[in-house]
Structure 1
Amino acid sequence: MDRLFWHGGLHLPFWQSIVCFVVGCILSLFFFNTLVFFSTIILVVLVIVVITTKNTAKFYVIITLLVGASYPILYYHCVYSSNLSYDELQQKQVLHGVIEQIDNYQFNDRLIVKTTKIANTDLKPYALMRAQVYISRAINTQYSPKVGDTISIRAKFKPIKPRLNEGLFDRRLHNFYVGLKYKGSVSKTDDFAVLTRATPSHITNLGSLSRYSWLYRGVLFGDTSAMPANIKSAVRNLGIAHLFAVSGLHMAIVFGFSFWLGKLALLLVSKFASHNTLRITPYFIAIAACATYLHASDYATSAIRAFIMIALVCLCLLVNRSYTSKRALLCALLLVILVNPFVLLSVGFYFSFIAVASILVALDLTNKRRISSPLYQLAFIQLVISITLAPLTVLFFNGTSVLSVFVNLIAIPLFSFFVMPLMLCVVLVDYAFSFSTPYRWLDALLKLLIKYIERIGEHIAWHYVPPISWQLIMLTIAAVLLLLYYYRSALLTLPILVFYYAHALNKEPNLTIRILDVGHGLSVIISKQGEAVLYDLGARYQDFSYFNHLVLPTLGINRLNLIKTVISHDDNDHSGGLTDLRHAGYFSTISGFEKACNINANWLENVRFKSFAAPHTAHSDNNSSCVLLITSGQFKLLLTGDIEAEREHTLLAEPSIQNIDVLISPHHGSNSSSSEGFINKTQPRWVVHSVNAYNRWRLPSLAVVTRYADYGTKQLATSRGAVKIVVTSSGYTISYAKQQNYWFLVD
């Protein structure tokens, strides 16, 4: 094995078996969604291979493929399979765990707790479960929990159900990967105790003395949780988000800095050290520093990959063996997946490994094309990385930064050779000598840096791209590699480009209605021929806005131009995004708001919008909601806001609200609405309840669901995902947002 690995005599079965193991894991996670069927297939194939195969190499590779396919199943049952039963979710449970993160909100704080015990069950050390615990500010002030504390609480928990909207990031996979399963709230009547206080850690407090501590955490450790929302937006628009994620570049800087620091320290005591000690010790010092940095970065995938590759380089140098970057990358890939095969669900995994692979490709091309200038090499490498990663950015983030290639030519050297080394020096001086003055010196430079990031980022727009399949992404990356190596292969990329741009430029010919999954709230997009009308904006909580995070991206990736906006009434769950609507430049599109709602227009081709304004005698904001009837041919959609039985009674005299095809249930399916007379008048074929999963009001109300069922109305709820309606000349279809089912996800 030593001969095969170190001396380049490529033993195909060994390296192929690594690839087969990875492929097996991918098949297991993404292609087989019935566990029993999958297990049966594994056993049948294994028996056939054992009986019929005579070629030892082929046998070895196939067995490795099957082992790779089975490994995630075994790992799941050991690490991820801990769940609360239905009966346990109905009662308050005791949870013990360690606080990993605290997010401060206006009235409460959110604790991310890594669970060690729940419902009288001690979890195994290798079992992974995290919970969100919301604690009121009054209780939090009394107990003052800190990151690293071990706490005990008694509260009622419910599963976390992320928003599910077509074409947007599927947070279900992320939550599963990190083990984030349940959430609960601690009230004054619940038990809360801090069992053990965390030992103050110098590592976690590095940079805390700076007014830009969030920037230190972001640049040095990849923690962007405290980064202001406007800076996050600017960083995304500039295409420099990778600078705030621990990467091989960060690890290389730490390694180089600690290596030469160790070498310098040993030279000062060279009289007392042997030659062999002087040669070997700096490597151990650097590896130890990298291991510490890996721990401080919370074992990010890219950091693990970089650490493994650096460790392999050092091992090769210490034992005088040859080294190839491609094999080290392959070994790093194997080890990372062995640590956790579900890392394949992580977006960072793909960016990390494909970025390194593209760097190796770029270096190979610079040698072939004899590019000797360091500046040209840097520009070419950055160009290759940007082109290679652009399809991934489109796949995972529904768009790309238009000028990222040019911005990174300045940003990467600036952060690599100035910002990060300076930050590293400042925090080390503080750590070693408790000398905080350098923070003030560096803060003046950081203020200037942040100023330019914010200003430039505001003038560069994020370019949304229509949804694209992973198959087309793979074809695009393959076409890019062909184009880089063989310029004549440009013709091979033409079919892909033609297919993609034909798809991107195609505008929806039919009326399309998207009832978005915005939790407890409402937001509906009605669109046709590239133009859209928006009814309600969803809620806003602190720095989080559904309008910014869901509505705008949905408009962007579907190439929709927002021409009109109607806001039913002034409740946060319907109008919370009003400030964000104004900042996005759409304030002038508002054509109806609560009682100021008088609409009778054809905003979209052959689509009629007619409002029913609230009477001035309405006794509540809910009953002041702007009710909007949308008609296209024989199709009718009725949007009702939060009207209650009192307002419903006033609508019974309107003949046009009869025989509704799709009704958005008034007041989210509350029993204060959807009265018997209103349902009898509208006779809806479908009703959609815009509600949050496991909401505390238990909406839609069982009484309301029963009333609609008695009239034969089919019912949907956005708690299961966004609802999409496509209206054609021959009828309409209604369905939930498309979602991939996985055998390891438990609803």
Structure 2
Amino acid sequence: MDRLFWHRGIHLPFWQSIACFVLGCILSLFLLNTPVFFLTITLVVLVGVLTISNLKTKIVVISALLFGLAYPIIYYHCAYDTHLSYIELQQKQLIKGKVERIDDYLYTYRLSVKPAVLGTEKIAKYKKLTLQLYLTKQSFDKNTVRIGDTITTRAKLKPIVPVVNEGIFDRRLYNFYHGIKYKGSISNNSLFKVTREDNKQRARFLNFSEYSWLYSAVLFGDTSKMPRDFKHISRQLGISHLFAVSGLHMTIVFAFSYWIIRVCCLLFNKFNRLKVLPLLVGILSCALYLHFSNYATSAQRAFIMLCAFCICWQINRAYIGYRALMFALLCVFIFNPFVPLTVGFYFSFAAVLSILLSLDLIKKFKIRSYLAKFFVVQVAITITLIPVTVFFFNGFSIYSLFVNLIAIPFFSVVLMPGILLVSLLSALLQTDLFILLLEPLLALIVASINEFNDIGSWLNLPSISWQLTVLLLISSLLLLYTSYSLYLTLPLMVFYLSQASFNQEQLVIRVLDVGHGLAVLLSYNNQAVLYDVGAKYSDYSYVKSVILPTLRINNLRLMRTVISHDDNDHSGGLTHIIENGKLSTISGYGKACSFKANWLSNITFESISKNSMFKSDNNNSCVVLVTYKHFKLLLTGDIEKKREQALLNDRRIADIDVLISPHHGSNSSSTDAFIKHTNPSWVLHSVNAYNRWKFPSLKVVERYASNNIKQLATYHGAIKVSVTDTNYAVSSQKQLKNYWFLVD
């Protein structure tokens, strides 16, 4: 057990202090969200510290914990606390900054700009702030601005508020970590000045090659230009890590530069004695590579551990991987204590720790074969990362172990060195010949990976709590150290599987966060009914990004799909419903809105028919009453005043429990008479934050409030209504994940 505490050669308080500092940072990030659990951990740590006999050690360790608690707050106010006031958001602001990224959409270009000046304030370089500015293709062409240009313009900005849904990637945390806060549009009559610099492209292939996205992904971990289908297949196969800069990439870059300088030193006797020169060049090359990879967490960790290895090698001291990993953890947290908000942090450190433990296992059993060693390491990584993968992606790749046994050696020996060599030669000799020679190999790789599109290699699993994830991760790591860990791992697995297979007999209503639009998913006994499908923009739709993942995560089978009316924000994703084989589920669309059925067990879905057709498509919306024992839900689509008046005599919709607000809370709807007739306990508004129509209308909000009706909007995240035999509960995703550092 000695090696797990790393106390040989360095005093134990040093490692305890690092652990307490890191723990303090994590507590500071999440303390307000789960106080009981983290306060318990804090008390356990403090009790453990107080048992130390040495008073000096107690003071050092407690000080490290307190500093860790305070450091994220200090860092936040130094780096992240840049906000525009309400008055500033109502006016156009002067923006001057460097273009870091350009995304090409159907009708617009989206520029990611790092501002140097915003309004009347100069923005320091260390500030985490990025603006997203949209240029319409009607007014600007693709050569108007390039990456690396400095632009000066004026734009009216508004905060970026991503959608938040249950079990789906929380983009709020991603945007916060990268400082992506505000967005705005630039019209052709706005001030727009471009200062073009001599952009030093990373390499010529970024513009020349058909597979420039693959070069960027392999070399720098930049997957922004990677085709969506290819990215999806890579994740399904479990090889996404190959396109994230890690220790494997850093080792290849170091070895490449080290041996070039080493050979040069051998050729020139004058430099043969400078044995430190190859090490310095290797480290400098890796530092440059770290910069090009945009300081990804895994790249930082790999660089720090590599530097530690080089120092130990040079001073002839033993390199202890656990110490290097612990020191890298400290450095990463000092660089940015909000790093636990990123997915890559957990994968990177968990994978390396599993590698170190597996190497000890190899020594213990005296395994000599290189193939056997590689197999043991790969098995260790796979087992360790399964809980993390299930937590973040609601499943894991079935074939990842076997695919990586082939992919990693090929990537390490052929692909990465080949692309690196071609890139350097093309940049030095200013020729595209080498790129052309590599193109057939890249085409073969892409085609081969695309062949795995339909093999079904991904196993979907129900969502897992982070507490259980931590316990499973710890038990899997301990499993590499001692077989007695099975006594912890097996009960946890049985508990998780029993919870996953347990079928709760209750109605669950999810008003999904689909921006400006509507999608309501009702589920019971692993079966679901969908009312409206949200919007579709070009190839993007909320069906693919929100609805289908929600069905998979919760193991739901879609039985029926009801479309209220033919507006994009309600029916735009219908084509993707059909493409995914759900055509047979569509019911009650348009004139077919006439039904009374029990699509979900004993839950009644009843359309509220119209006495006559209305001129307005909104007023022809398919209104549906859902009844379950004591509970009533009314789905209203986009009905307005005239349709509401026609419903005032219908006693079926009187005294309902939950109302989906008509027309997203527009003032053209939700008349006082309709509110009094339906008399809901709750009204739910499906809207996005800062929408241009300012839904829900302030007058409508006041109208519901004056009738003592509780309200909730989806700009607080997806809303969940859990209905039992005797009661029901309403909650939103942002209420469940209310981080102190997030400001909408």
In the other structure, the counterpart of 2:521 is 525
> C-alpha displacement at 1:456, in angstroms?
0.9
- Go from structure 1 to structure 2 and tell me whether the alpha carbon gap of 1:186 and 1:616 turns closer, same or farther (over 3 Å shift): farther
Q: Measure the CA separation in 2 of the matches of 1:679 and 1:492.
A: 55
In the other structure, the counterpart of 1:171 is 171
Identity %: 53
Please give the per-residue CA displacement for 1:84-141, whole angstroms capped at 9, x wherever unaligned.
1222122221122211111111111111111222120112232221111122123432
Mapping 1:580-659, distance limit 5 Å: 580-612=576-608, 617-659=613-655
Q: Measure the CA separation in 2 of the matches of 1:371 and 1:544.
A: 50
**1:702 aligned to 2:717?**
no
Q: Measure the CA separation in 2 of the matches of 1:57 and 1:533.
A: 60
> C-alpha displacement at 1:242, in angstroms?
0.8
Q: Give, as a single letter, the amino acid of the residue that structure 2 aligns with 1:431.
A: A
Residues 203, 426 of structure 2: 8 Å contact kept: no
Q: Measure the CA separation in 1 of the matches of 2:33 and 2:242.
A: 36
Residues 613, 620 of structure 2: 8 Å contact kept: no
In the other structure, the counterpart of 1:394 is 390
Q: Measure the CA separation in 1 of the matches of 2:632 and 2:609.
A: 18
> C-alpha displacement at 1:167, in angstroms?
2.5
In the other structure, the counterpart of 1:681 is 677
**1:314 aligned to 2:310?**
yes
> C-alpha displacement at 1:653, in angstroms?
4.6
In the other structure, the counterpart of 1:460 is 456
Q: Measure the CA separation in 2 of the matches of 1:613 and 1:147.
A: 56
In structure 1, the residue corresponding to 2:60 is in which secondary structure?
Answer: helix
**1:496 aligned to 2:492?**
yes
TM-score, reference length from structure 1: 0.93
In structure 1, the residue corresponding to 2:736 is in which secondary structure?
Answer: coil
Q: Measure the CA separation in 2 of the matches of 1:255 and 1:191.
A: 46
Please give the per-residue CA displacement for 1:398-439, whole angstroms capped at 9, x wherever unaligned.
222222122211222222222222211221221111221232
In the other structure, the counterpart of 1:741 is 738
**1:128 aligned to 2:163?**
no
Residues 23, 68 of structure 1: 8 Å contact kept: yes
In the other structure, the counterpart of 2:210 is 211
In the other structure, the counterpart of 1:428 is 424
In the other structure, the counterpart of 1:14 is 14
> C-alpha displacement at 1:281, in angstroms?
2.0
In the other structure, the counterpart of 1:224 is 223
Q: Measure the CA separation in 2 of the matches of 1:53 and 1:357.
A: 30
Q: Measure the CA separation in 1 of the matches of 2:438 and 2:243.
A: 18
Residues 238, 457 of structure 1: 8 Å contact kept: no
In the other structure, the counterpart of 2:81 is 81
Mapping 1:67-466, distance limit 5 Å: 67-141=67-141, 144-194=144-194, 196-203=195-202, 205-268=204-267, 270-271=268-269, 273-277=270-274, 279-466=275-462
- Go from structure 1 to structure 2 and tell me whether the alpha carbon gap of 1:676 and 1:656 turns closer, same or farther (over 3 Å shift): same
**1:574 aligned to 2:567?**
no
In structure 2, the residue corresponding to 1:672 is in which secondary structure?
Answer: coil
Q: Give, as a single letter, the amino acid of the residue that structure 2 aligns with 1:303.
A: A
Residues 20, 61 of structure 1: 8 Å contact kept: yes
Residues 146, 198 of structure 1: 8 Å contact kept: no
- Go from structure 1 to structure 2 and tell me whether the alpha carbon gap of 1:257 and 1:615 turns closer, same or farther (over 3 Å shift): farther
> C-alpha displacement at 1:476, in angstroms?
0.8
Residues 506, 525 of structure 2: 8 Å contact kept: yes
Q: Measure the CA separation in 1 of the matches of 2:143 and 2:118.
A: 21
Q: Measure the CA separation in 2 of the matches of 1:34 and 1:297.
A: 34
**1:507 aligned to 2:503?**
yes
In structure 1, the residue corresponding to 2:114 is in which secondary structure?
Answer: strand
Q: Measure the CA separation in 2 of the matches of 1:381 and 1:496.
A: 24
Q: Give, as a single letter, the amino acid of the residue that structure 2 aligns with 1:244.
A: F
Q: Give, as a single letter, the amino acid of the residue that structure 2 aligns with 1:256.
A: A
In the other structure, the counterpart of 1:554 is 550
Q: Measure the CA separation in 2 of the matches of 1:364 and 1:53.
A: 32
More deviation, 606-615/490-499? 606-615
Q: Give, as a single letter, the amino acid of the residue that structure 2 aligns with 1:203.
A: R
Q: Measure the CA separation in 2 of the matches of 1:729 and 1:575.
A: 33
Please give the per-residue CA displacement for 1:520-544, whole angstroms capped at 9, x wherever unaligned.
0111110111111111111222343
Please give the per-residue CA displacement for 1:335-385, whole angstroms capped at 9, x wherever unaligned.
111111111222111111111111111111111112211111111111110
In structure 2, the residue corresponding to 1:76 is in which secondary structure?
Answer: helix
In the other structure, the counterpart of 2:666 is 670
In the other structure, the counterpart of 1:57 is 57
- Go from structure 1 to structure 2 and tell me whether the alpha carbon gap of 1:15 and 1:413 turns closer, same or farther (over 3 Å shift): same
Please give the per-residue CA displacement for 1:638-660, whole angstroms capped at 9, x wherever unaligned.
11222233333443454322222
Residues 687, 714 of structure 2: 8 Å contact kept: yes
In structure 1, the residue corresponding to 2:728 is in which secondary structure?
Answer: strand
Residues 543, 576 of structure 2: 8 Å contact kept: yes
> C-alpha displacement at 1:672, in angstroms?
2.4
**Structure 1 vs Structure 2 CA RMSD:** 2.6
Q: Give, as a single letter, the amino acid of the residue that structure 1 aligns with 2:732.
A: Y
**Which runs of no fewer than 5 residues in structure 1 stay unpaired?**
none
Q: Give, as a single letter, the amino acid of the residue that structure 1 aligns with 2:383.
A: I
In structure 1, the residue corresponding to 2:453 is in which secondary structure?
Answer: helix
> C-alpha displacement at 1:464, in angstroms?
2.7
TM-score, reference length from structure 2: 0.93
Q: Give, as a single letter, the amino acid of the residue that structure 1 aligns with 2:248.
A: L
Q: Measure the CA separation in 2 of the matches of 1:283 and 1:331.
A: 20
- Go from structure 1 to structure 2 and tell me whether the alpha carbon gap of 1:571 and 1:55 turns closer, same or farther (over 3 Å shift): same
Q: Measure the CA separation in 2 of the matches of 1:198 and 1:619.
A: 57
In the other structure, the counterpart of 2:717 is 721
Q: Measure the CA separation in 1 of the matches of 2:143 and 2:179.
A: 26
Please give the per-residue CA displacement for 1:544-600, whole angstroms capped at 9, x wherever unaligned.
321122112211221211111112222222222223223322222112323333322
Q: Measure the CA separation in 2 of the matches of 1:701 and 1:312.
A: 59
In structure 1, the residue corresponding to 2:113 is in which secondary structure?
Answer: strand
- Go from structure 1 to structure 2 and tell me whether the alpha carbon gap of 1:739 and 1:97 turns closer, same or farther (over 3 Å shift): farther
In structure 2, the residue corresponding to 1:623 is in which secondary structure?
Answer: coil
> C-alpha displacement at 1:503, in angstroms?
0.9
Residues 354, 480 of structure 2: 8 Å contact kept: no
> C-alpha displacement at 1:209, in angstroms?
1.4
In structure 2, the residue corresponding to 1:341 is in which secondary structure?
Answer: coil
More deviation, 402-411/643-652? 643-652
Q: Give, as a single letter, the amino acid of the residue that structure 1 aligns with 2:743.
A: V
> C-alpha displacement at 1:614, in angstroms?
6.0
Q: Give, as a single letter, the amino acid of the residue that structure 1 aligns with 2:663.
A: H
- Go from structure 1 to structure 2 and tell me whether the alpha carbon gap of 1:633 and 1:662 turns closer, same or farther (over 3 Å shift): same
> C-alpha displacement at 1:440, in angstroms?
2.8
Q: Measure the CA separation in 2 of the matches of 1:67 and 1:677.
A: 58
In structure 1, the residue corresponding to 2:181 is in which secondary structure?
Answer: strand
> C-alpha displacement at 1:682, in angstroms?
2.4
Q: Measure the CA separation in 2 of the matches of 1:244 and 1:301.
A: 13
